[in-house]
Amino acid sequence: MKMRNLLREGIWTQHFKKRFLLMKCISSRTYQNQRCLNLSSYNYLGFAASDEYCTPRVMESLETFSPSTCSTRIDCGTTVIHQELEEMVARFVGKPAAMVYGMGFATNSTTLPALIGKGGLIISDSLNHSSIVAGARGSGAKVQVFQHNTPSHLEQVLREAIAEGQPRTRRPWKKIIVVVEGIYSMEGELCRLSEIVSVTQKYKAYIYLDEAHSIGAIGKTGRGVCEHDGVDPAKIDVMMGTFTKSFGSCGGYIAGSKELITYLKHVSPGHIYATSMSPPAVQQVISALKVILGEDGSDRGARKLAQVRENSNYFRQELRRMGCEVLGDENSPVMPFMLYNPAKIPAFSRECLKRNVAVVTVGFPATPLLLARARVCISASHTKEDLDLGLEVISEVSDMAHLKYFPQMESFSKVKSV
């Protein structure tokens, strides 16, 4: 109660714990504070907050390089740590070379125009992210869509496209790029990568894999969907990913062959015109990668990877037991569960917030009008107590909002007391 009184007077609380974020009312700045369990941020490996290995090194790099280089990569924005990061990313993903950008959205929207232009065809999954759509539109190539995660439909679209050629002129396409994502964050589904790769290889199309959510979170050593599906990274032509989610930083990367990266560095506007990635953010990724790879001398990385998998599977299992309709595949740390009714969107979110749990709810136009959902992002830093608290609150609110669309498998309270 004392805390509540303090908060109502508008005093900031200074301490900050790893898995809690101080929340503020966004719309009208009431200056009220509330401690919440954060089930909403993309913090899969728990690097979001101050970390014992990463933060001191980040502060050192801040001292050496300042928060910004005020320059593009090609002028004087390339520092030794940028080069180090590019080498590390290439090594991590299993490609010969990589390049980094300062923003994940800009990575897609400036690389796709550099790779393909008029006379080319982009075949994109129907549920691809808006950055891919922006990049595809900006490139000038024709765009066709295939049914979400359906390799057979992709094959059909490819066959038709190659047989018919460009519309009106019927000239053969200059090149075809198939764009897919590693994890689709609104569905929690993993890409059927091995099948899609075999289709694209059969028809000589290039494949561009966007691992924004899956890098660092999926796969035994965090190397993403390729590792999970057993696909050789050499078969993927262009691998893209972001550092925002699993590495607790900002920015994105493109990995590919040495020649591809040399060419992209020469052409991509994100490299030539955009301010280079902030050096402390670069250092954060380098340190996070070192932890994940175990090069920091400890096994924290391996433990984090195992923890996020365990946490996600536990949470998903419990949500299913409760009777909630959870979407997505095993091992995916992002799990949406259905609300369906658009009226339940604000109800669910606000009731959870009242009980100090922060969840994200998504409606139209990110999802179809009647397929609204709530989305939970699990982190390696969540302890079992945190997860149980979250489950309890979600169960309570789901009961209120009648979200338990499926029959309960066993009584949830029985499970909790075990």
Among the residue ranges 218-226, 244-252, 290-298, 303-311, the one whose residues contact another protein (CB under 8 A): 244-252
Residue 200 as a binder of another protein (CB under 8 A): the answer is no
Residue position matching structure tokens 């998903």: 316
Nearer Cβ to another protein, position 130 or 411? 130
Among 85, 141, 250, 387, binds another protein (CB under 8 A): 250
Binders in 212-241 for another protein, by CB under 8 A: 237-238
Angstrom distance (rounded) from CA 302 to CA 369: 40
Contacting residues for 214 by C-beta, under 8 A, at least 6 apart: 181, 182, 183, 190, 224, 225, 228, 241
Task: Please report how many Cα atoms fall inside a 13 Å half-sphere around the Cα of residue 334, on the Cβ side.
Answer: 27
Residue 284 as a binder of another protein (CB under 8 A): the answer is yes
Q: How big is the chain, counted in residues?
A: 418
Residue 68 as a binder of another protein (CB under 8 A): the answer is yes
Among 151, 188, 241, 248, binds another protein (CB under 8 A): 248
**Number of C-beta neighbours around residue 33 at 10 A:** 19
Angstrom distance (rounded) from CA 135 to CA 107: 9
Binders in 369-408 for another protein, by CB under 8 A: none
Contacting residues for 107 by C-beta, under 8 A, at least 6 apart: 101, 131, 240, 242, 251, 252, 253, 254, 270
Nearer Cβ to another protein, position 113 or 323? 113
Angstrom distance (rounded) from CA 333 to CA 44: 7
Among the residue ranges 166-174, 215-223, 296-304, 328-336, the one whose residues contact another protein (CB under 8 A): 166-174
Binders in 83-102 for another protein, by CB under 8 A: 83, 102
Nearer Cβ to another protein, position 205 or 231? 205
Among 7, 35, 53, 134, binds another protein (CB under 8 A): 134
For 95, 395, 409, the CA distances from 412, given in Å and listed in that order, are: 46, 9, 8
Residue 143 as a binder of another protein (CB under 8 A): the answer is no
Among 245, 304, 344, 373, binds another protein (CB under 8 A): 245
